[in-house]
């Protein structure tokens, strides 16, 4: 009887929705890579500028520095893909919202 009860409990737990979100450090590294490779970020910086630093400002907000210019980049959620009306399991889906570059004169 105990085996049957245990099997029923294990089956019931396997029917619960599961989300395979990345650990915070891994998610942040995915976001860093996306920002560094984004063509919109490169186009928003002055021609010939090289990214010197990428700073985490707060949740979903990063600041890119290139020479005397800075640029804020926001991470926006995209809806999770669905299969038969149910959100699929997987890492966060996002897109980047690139702000205007701000340059200071030295």
* Secondary structure, 3-state, the chain: CHHHHHHHHHHHHHCCCCCCCCCHHHHHHHHHHHHHHCHHHHHHCCCCCCCCEEEEEECCEEEEEECCEEEEEEEEECCCCEECCEECCCCCCEEEEECCCEECCC
Confidence label for 14 from pLDDT (cuts 50, 70 and 90): low
pLDDT digits (tens, 9 = 90+) for 23-75: 889 999 999 999 999 999 999 998 888 999 999 999 999 999 999 999 999 99
pTM above 0.75, yes or no: no
pLDDT of residue 65: 97
């Amino acid at each position: 009887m105990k085996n049957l009860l245990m099997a029923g409990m294990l089956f019931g737990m396997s029917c619960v929705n599961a989300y395979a979100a990345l650990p915070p450090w891994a998610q942040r590294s995915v976001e860093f890579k996306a920002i560094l490779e984004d063509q919109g970020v490169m186009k928003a910086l002055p021609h010939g500028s090289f990214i010197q630093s990428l700073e985490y400002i707060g949740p979903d907000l990063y600041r890119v520095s290139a020479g005397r210019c800075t640029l804020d980049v926001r991470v926006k959620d995209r809806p999770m893909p669905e299969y038969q009306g149910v959100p699929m399991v997987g890492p966060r889906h996002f897109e980047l919202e690139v702000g205007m570059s701000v340059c200071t004169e030295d």
